[in-house]
């Protein structure tokens, strides 16, 4: 949802926004995310991963493990949600006149949805796919579809939009990397080759620290080049939580749950989510204020903060 909202706000500031296409894209992508979760649980359960008190079953509901429904029912829900998500993609293709780039985005999204759990996650590519999908791909993709619908085939700010998608993509990916560090031992035993399994916990923690730092660095860069106004620096109010995440990532995951820690067995992912929740909210708030200024105070910005 946040990725689509970011894309919608950036499209609004550039004069491309339209409620109908925006809502169709947002709902269909939301459903696609649900379809991916259904397939993820089905695949891991069928391959024997989500069994024997595996990490996944300790922190959240698993319909198959807990017997809420059967494997055929899970597939039925996946097919139903997949069809609805596909209809949204077909709408985007029709809306843009089957633009080649949109076709490519549609295919890329479908492939990631189908193959994230296996083999991408096993090849240490799942975390990178999460970053791309939730960040530059989805945000720039939705923006591009809205621009095409407005008759603009080469939006001047497209690469800036893709760059603007990086901070949120990194923030979301930091949760995913954190979760995979948390369950590295389980994944190692099960043969699931996530990024932390392939490179080791220490290196994965360092990469996650860089991701958190880069989240803010990209915002600063976009303000420095005047794509954003300084109001986007509001995200630094989440800086205390970012420092907390960075500090936690300097040490290995504890072997036992610390006192008064309610989120066990999640550890790094819990802190990353704690940061992302505030950062994402401030990012949306900053973009709303930035867009309002761009739309309603264009002359003022042209004089005092020209792009």
Give the CATH number for residue 121: 1.10.600
Whether the CB-CB separation of 128 and 169 falls below 8 Å is answered with no
Instruction: Identify the DSSP state of 136.
Output: I
Q: Provide CB contacts within 8 A for 3, sequence distance 6+.
A: 29, 134, 135, 138, 139, 142, 165, 168, 169
What DSSP string runs through 249-305? Answer: TTSPPPSSPPTT-TTTT-SHHHHHHHHHHHHHHHHHHHHHHHHHHHHHSHHHHHHHS
Give the position of tokens 């998608």. 165
Q: Provide CB contacts within 8 A for 241, sequence distance 6+.
A: 274, 275, 278, 279
* Paired tokens of 18: 């339209």
Structural domain range at position 243 = 2-304
Cα torsion angle, 161, 165, 167, 170, sign? negative
Whether the CB-CB separation of 209 and 174 falls below 8 Å is answered with no
**286-306 as b/e: b if 16+ CB within 10 A:** bbeebbebbeeeeeebeeebe
For 89-143, write each residue's pLDDT tens digit.
Answer: 999 999 999 999 999 999 999 999 888 888 888 898 989 999 999 999 999 999 9
Q: How far is CA 169 from the centre of its chain?
A: 5
Q: What CA–CA distance (Å, rounded) separates 180 from 121?
A: 10
- Please report the pLDDT score of residue 117 as a whole number: 81
pLDDT(25) > 70: yes
Q: What CA–CA distance (Å, rounded) separates 67 from 29?
A: 28
State the total domains in the chain: 1
Q: Provide CB contacts within 8 A for 253, sequence distance 6+.
A: 181, 182, 201, 267, 268
Give the position of tokens 């005047």. 226
Instruction: Identify the DSSP state of 237.
Output: G
- Mean pLDDT over 196-209 rounds to 96
- Alpha-carbon distance values, 123 to 108, 120, 132, 247, 299 (Å): 17, 5, 16, 28, 50
37 falls in which pLDDT band (50, 70, 90)?
confident
Whether the CB-CB separation of 272 and 174 falls below 8 Å is answered with yes
In this structure, how many other beta carbons lie within 10 angstroms of the beta carbon of residue 98?
Answer: 11
Q: What CA–CA distance (Å, rounded) separates 249 from 208?
A: 8
Which tops the pLDDT comparison, 210 or 188? Answer: 210
- Mean pLDDT over 258-262 rounds to 82
Q: What CA–CA distance (Å, rounded) separates 58 from 150?
A: 47
pLDDT(192) > 90: no
pLDDT(63) > 90: no
Q: Give the predicted TM-score (pTM) of the model.
A: 0.92
186 falls in which pLDDT band (50, 70, 90)?
confident
* Paired tokens of 108: 């890329």
- Closest residue by Cα to residue 58 from 222, 246, 263, 270: 263
- Mean pLDDT over 66-87 rounds to 88
């Amino acid at each position: 949802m946040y990725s689509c909202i970011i894309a919608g706000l950036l499209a609004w500031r550039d004069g491309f926004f339209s409620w109908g296409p925006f809502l169709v894209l947002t709902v269909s992508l939301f459903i696609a995310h649900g379809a991916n979760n259904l397939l993820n649980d089905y695949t891991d359960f069928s391959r024997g991963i989500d069994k024997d008190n595996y990490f996944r079953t300790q922190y959240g509901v698993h319909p198959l493990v807990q017997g809420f429904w059967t494997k055929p029912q899970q597939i039925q829900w996946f097919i139903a949600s997949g069809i609805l998500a596909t209809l949204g993609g077909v709408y985007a293709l029709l809306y843009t006149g089957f633009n080649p780039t949109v076709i490519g985005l549609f295919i890329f999204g479908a492939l990631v949805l189908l193959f994230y759990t296996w083999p991408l996650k096993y090849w240490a590519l799942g975390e990178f796919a999460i970053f791309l999908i939730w960040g530059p791909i989805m945000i720039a993709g939705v923006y591009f579809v809205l621009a095409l619908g407005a008759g603009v085939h080469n939006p001047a700010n497209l690469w800036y939009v893709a760059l603007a998608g990086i901070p949120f993509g990194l923030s979301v990916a930091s949760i995913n990397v954190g979760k995979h560090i948390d369950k590295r031992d389980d994944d190692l035993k099960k043969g699931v080759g996530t990024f932390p399994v392939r490179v080791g916990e220490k290196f994965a923690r360092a990469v996650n620290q860089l991701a958190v730092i880069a989240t803010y660095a990209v915002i600063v860069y976009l303000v420095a080049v005047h794509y954003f106004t300084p109001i986007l620096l509001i995200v630094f109010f989440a800086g205390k939580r970012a420092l907390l995440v960075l500090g936690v990532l300097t040490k290995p995951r504890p072997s036992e749950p610390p006192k008064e820690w309610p989120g066990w067995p999640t550890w790094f992912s819990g802190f990353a989510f704690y940061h992302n929740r505030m950062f994402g909210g401030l990012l949306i708030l900053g973009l709303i204020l930035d867009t309002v200024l761009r739309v309603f105070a264009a002359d003022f910005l042209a004089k005092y903060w020209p792009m």
